[in-house]
Structure 1
Amino acid sequence: MKKKLTIMDIAKMAGVSRQTISRVLNNKPEVNEATRKQVLRIIEEHGFQPSLQARSMVTRKTNMIALLLPDISNPFFAEIVRGIERTLRENSLNVFLMTTEEDVELENSFIQLSKNYNVDGMILCSPRLDDANLRKLIPGISPVVLLNRDVDTDGVACVVVDAHYGGYAATKFLIEQGHSKIGIIVGPSRAYSSIQRLEGYKKALEDFGIPLDKDLIIQVEVDNKDIHKMTEQLIKKNVTSITTYNDLAAAHVIQACTDLNLKVPEDISIIGFDGIAISNFTNPTLTTMSLPLFEMGETIANTLVKMIKGNEPFERLTMVYPILKKGNSTRSVSFSN
């Protein structure tokens, strides 16, 4: 097998230092034109491709961004990633992606791997790592942009969905439609957004003078697992509506209602969260708290780019507010009275 050439090999052929080769590769001005042409000729003749590690030794930059997500199969993350990738690509940055299925050991190993690769920054969505551990890990990989976590520490910016507002607005909408027996299926308890969404639900009930019934609150521990059974539990409590933690869960609820011979929205109203494409294709179409997911990805990437460059101000905390998008899965209960 032919030996792969290194920067040192090219430097020997050209009779110059390794630093000069690096300056030529990175188009630095402090190389005379004759030397530059000679080096470029040798590089072309030998088809030399510098390794990422070799470039980073001199420039201290790899043009690599680490992106850690719990689940890329979830359309919520897939759309955000589109916005991230396009924006980073426009800034000559590449993405190193890993999904962890919320496994803390995998998250820690990926963060360590990112350090070894000397990435220029990281985008991190970690529902399970606690704030204390995040603060310990961040100095070695900063700058960092956190998705749906607000951790106030050096080298970190946060882009957070206002799930409290979303939970409140969804519940308020149902109350204004005449519903008072409102069930809620909440995401995993460890997730910041789940806690906030539930608090929003409770606040809306309080503001409208509706007593809190804890039996109408059901918590999912694994995304979209046992939603059918949870829907049955809520229906046995005579709820007239169910609000969920994302659109995929809402789609499962609609299917469960169909299996139980209930019509949506005639017999029960369903409201989702996120506004992913599936909300337009459920039967009936889904009322949801919609988010600008692609634009969130752009915001996350642009914030990180500003942090890396270090010459522009950036927002430490960016809040994203969901907007109610009406579908056909909700109705006023007054029509059935």
Structure 2
Amino acid sequence: MATIYEVSALAGVSLSSVSRVLNDHEHVSKKTKEKVVAAMNELNYRPNTIARSLASNRSNSVGVLVSELHGPFFGAMLSSIELELRNAGKHAVITAGHSDEKSEINGLDFLIDRKCDALILLVDAISDDYLIKLSKGNTPFVILNRNISEISDHCFYLDNELGGYLAAKYLIEQGHKEIAYISGPLTKQDSTERLTGHKKALAEANIPFKESLLYEGDYLTKSGRDGINFLIKHKTTFTAVACSNDEMASGAMRGARDHKWLIPEQCSFIGFDNAFFTEYLYPQLTTINFPINDMAKMSTQWILKNVYKQKELDITNMFIPELIERQSVKKN
């Protein structure tokens, strides 16, 4: 196995020059870099990543802590982060906290102990106070899908209230007045904000919000099906259902078909996220677009800019939802 000394000798440059090339040091001439790279290729030299980390005080890895690993939302997010990091020569270390405070804190400790240079967090159970305190530590981080005013420049989030408002407003514009709502867990910030937006649209149209038309789900497909069954069992009257994410909307649509309901003729449905599968449902699901790929990419670029000094770009922290109109809503 070739050594850095052999690379130095073959390239005709000093050991320190080879080290600067390996660590992407900015004060290296193009000619020197070309010599070192050519020597490395000829010798089939692979740099020792541990040694490089010790020399540069960087692990070249970014820790990613998410609440869950399953589902299209998290898959799209993780794919965007990993691709952006890989293109920059960095690596992602991924773990899940399963929306449990102890598990999320353990995940944080694991990533920090692994000497990750920075962290990307999508956490539900860890308190704002804990994250504010963490921001005073030595490991920089960003937060997805959550806004904490004290550290808002580290937060990348959607205007969830506007999203909930747009969904309900669209249903109302199509003539619906009896609108059921299947929410995500109301302990989560995004769920409560979407429900707030839903209620705002109803209030503007002088439509009273009925607790009997609310079912609290868990963002999973089965809870959407359970929600529609609950609403039907309790003989509530509604012509449309707004769901806090697309997975629950797909489950609710399946539940409606179990009862032989026609969609959208007998009941309309609108989701939230614009997951890839919404175009393959029948009918195709009207939904609210959550640009999670763009948000994940932007948060990663924040790290590349502020931690690795690789990027010079304008940072956008808040993202705006958009209505995606398809065929699952009956127009009156």
Q: With the length of structure 2 as denominator, give the TM-score of the two structures.
A: 0.84
Between 82-91 and 322-331, report the one with greater CA deviation. Answer: 82-91
Structure 1 unpaired stretches of 5+:
12-16
User: 1:308 maps to what in 2?
Assistant: 307
**1:34-55 residue CA offsets vs partner (Å, 9 max, x unmatched):** 9xx99x989987x875544432
Q: Select the residue among 161, 164, 182 that pairs with 1:164.
A: 161
Root mean square deviation, CA, Å: 3.4
Q: Structure 2: which amino acid aligns with 1:119?
A: C
* Mapped contact 1:19–1:58 kept (Cα < 8 A): no
Count of equivalent residues: 322
CA distance, structure 1, for counterparts of residue 24 and residue 169 of structure 2: 58
Structure 2: which amino acid aligns with 1:284?
P
Residue among 85, 92, 96 paired with 1:95: 92
Q: Which residue of 1 aligns with 2:255?
A: 256
Cα distance 1:153–1:144, how it changes in 2: closer, same or farther (>3 A)? farther
Task: State the AA in 1 paired with 2:224.
Answer: I
Once the two structures are TM-superposed, the CA of residue 57 in structure 1 deviates from its matched residue by: 2.2
Q: Distance in 1 between matches of 2:211 and 2:41?
A: 70
Q: Quote the Cα distance in structure 1 between the aligned partners of 2:65 and 2:224.
A: 27
After superposition, residues 194-209 of structure 1 pair within 5 angstroms as 194-209=191-206
Matches within 5 A, 1:132-211: 132-140=129-137, 142-153=139-150, 157-211=154-208
Match of 1:327 in 2: 326
Identical aligned residues as a percent: 30
Query: What is the match of residue 272 of structure 1?
Result: 271
Residue 25 of structure 1: CA displacement? 3.9
The answer as to 2:50 corresponding to 1:56 is no
Q: Which moved more, 1:144-153 or 1:238-247?
A: 144-153
Given that residues 223 and 248 in structure 2 are in contact (C-alpha distance below 8 angstroms), is that contact kept between their aligned partners in structure 1? no
- Any gaps of 5 or more consecutive residues in structure 2? 9-13
Contact 2:171–2:240, Cα closer than 8 Å, also in 1: yes
Asked if the contact 2:96–2:107 (Cα under 8 Å) also holds between the matched residues in 1, the reply is: no
Question: 2:168, 2:20 → 1: CA distance?
Answer: 60
Task: Please say if 1:80 is aligned against 2:93.
Answer: no
Whole-Å separation in 2 of the counterparts to 1:91 and 1:279: 32
Q: Which structure's relative contact order is higher, taking Cα pairs within 8 Å and 6+ residues apart? A: 1
Give, as a single letter, the amino acid of the residue that structure 2 aligns with 1:83.
Answer: S
Aligned mates of 1:142, 1:313 — CA distance in 2:
22
- The residue type paired with residue 299 of structure 2 is I
Q: What is the alpha-carbon distance in structure 1 between the residues aligned to residue 306 and residue 23 of structure 2?
A: 22
Tell me, in whole angstroms, the C-alpha distance in 1 between the residues paired with 2:56 and 2:139: 17
Deviation at 1:162, TM superposition (A): 1.0
- Structure 1 residues 264 and 295, CA, compared in 2 at 3 Å: closer, same or farther? same
The range that moved more, 167-176 or 83-92, is: 83-92
Say whether the 8 Å CA contact 2:144–2:296 is kept in structure 1. Answer: no
Distance 2:195 2:24 in 1: 54
Letter in 1 for 2:158: V
Give 1:163 deviation, angstroms.
0.9
Deviation at 1:141, TM superposition (A): 5.4
| TM-score, with length taken from structure 1 | 0.83
Given residue 60 of structure 1, which amino acid in structure 2 is its aligned partner? N
Deviation at 1:136, TM superposition (A): 2.5
